[in-house]
Structure 1
Amino acid sequence: MDNQQQETLDRIHQQVTSNPVVIYMKGTPQMPSCGFSSRAAQALVETGEKFAFVNVLADPYIFEHLPKYQDWPTFPQLYIDGELQGGCDITLELAESGDLKKLMQAANEKHAHSDAS
């Protein structure tokens, strides 16, 4: 593993663990660059919960190395409370069942409490 890959994987780990909810997507929630990213981000927006995003198209290193982080080959990738939930299909299934909002809410609350301590 070269330095660039290790630095990038470390940066991804920091993003995933310091944000209660983060989606790695093509584009931004306001200007998505692919249908899958658009639908997944929209599902997150509709929960009303806070989330962070990383535009993988704006960072070629993350675009290249993120699939190696949790061995998930495609975008978007949704992480809640440091754990990979999955891509677009899983995000939409979670939204449909109502679990997405619950998971996001729990992660945001947990993170808010750990910030206060």
Structure 2
Amino acid sequence: MSISANSVEEFNQILKDNKYVIIGFWADWSKPSVQMNQIFDQLPKQYTQIKFLKVEAEKLHEVSLKYNIKSVPSYFFVSNGKPLHSFVGANPSELNLQTINFVSKIAQLDEDSQNNNNNNNGPIDEETMKKLKLQEEENKKKLFQRLESLINQQKVMLFMKGSPDAPQCGFSRKTVEILQKNTFVFGSFDILSDPSVRNGLKEFSNWPTYPQLYINGKLVGGFDIIKEMDAEGELESLKPTA
């Protein structure tokens, strides 16, 4: 889970005690920033080398002034107390992308620091590059194992934006309506709640858009395919037997 700073002193101490920090500024009156907090809270599970710090912008006004906060949510990627980059807006994909970029950057910073300690300012050696690549492959393997588990969680699984009761896009809503009309019993996963699933599943199944429907562990397709199969009376035949 992420942590919160309740005072300027606590904020400063957290930055002092942690080399790499991602700061998320939010406000309780801003629904997008509150929703982004749910995603922000999940990221520490994947990026354990980073401290994820939430700051309520109006509560810590002095900190908000220091970082020139004009709107929420705003995110700052901090190394040794200094922001390397930032972005503004409720964009889960961008948050995930910027976090990945930050991880790559700090890996380079750590390697440069080690090289400096060894009086060697040259590029990353081949052995280090090999280790980084192996770590990246291992992370990808774990993600794909998780995706396979999610896909097979139920015989019919819909990966969508939002939930069946509260879809967050028109295509997801229409897909749910088609499945319910055909009396499908199905599970669902809100891809907005987990950037790693949202981005990883596109590569895993080689399908670039959402929603995505899986039956018996196999990708059926997105809304256009589901709509066409429904119109031609083919969707009913895919319904799993009890």
TM-score range, shorter chain: 0.7 to 0.9
> Which structure features the higher share of strand residues?
2
- Aligned letter for 2:147? I
Structure 1: distance between partners of 2:176 and 2:139: 28
Spell out, residue by residue over 1:48-107, the C-alpha distance to the aligned partner (whole angstroms, 9 max, x if none). Answer: 121111100011110121101111011011111111111000011112222222212xx2
Normalising by structure 2, what TM-score?
0.42
1:15 paired to 2:150: yes
1:92 paired to 2:227: yes
15-24 or 62-71: bigger deviation: 15-24
Greater relative CO, 1 or 2 (CA 8 Å, sep 6+): 1
User: Deviation at 1:15?
Assistant: 2.1
2:177 aligned partner: 42
Question: Gapped runs of 5+ residues in structure 2?
Answer: 1-135
Root mean square deviation, CA, Å: 1.5
The structure 1 segments of at least 4 consecutive aligned residues displaced by more than 4 Å after TM superposition are none
Question: Gapped runs of 5+ residues in structure 1?
Answer: 113-117
Percent of pairs with identical residues: 34
Equivalent positions of 1:98-117 (< 5 A) are 98-104=233-239, 107=240, 109=241, 112=242
Structure 1: distance between partners of 2:180 and 2:141: 32
| Higher radius of gyration, 1 or 2 | 2
1:115 aligned partner: none
SS at match of 2:143: helix
The answer to whether the 8 A contact 1:5-1:61 is kept is no
> Which structure features the higher share of helix residues?
1
Which residue, 187, 190, 195 being the options, matches 1:60? Answer: 195
Structure 1: distance between partners of 2:183 and 2:172: 17
Normalising by structure 1, what TM-score?
0.82
User: Deviation at 1:2?
Assistant: 4.0
Spell out, residue by residue over 1:8-49, the C-alpha distance to the aligned partner (whole angstroms, 9 max, x if none). Answer: 211111122342111100011111111111111111111112
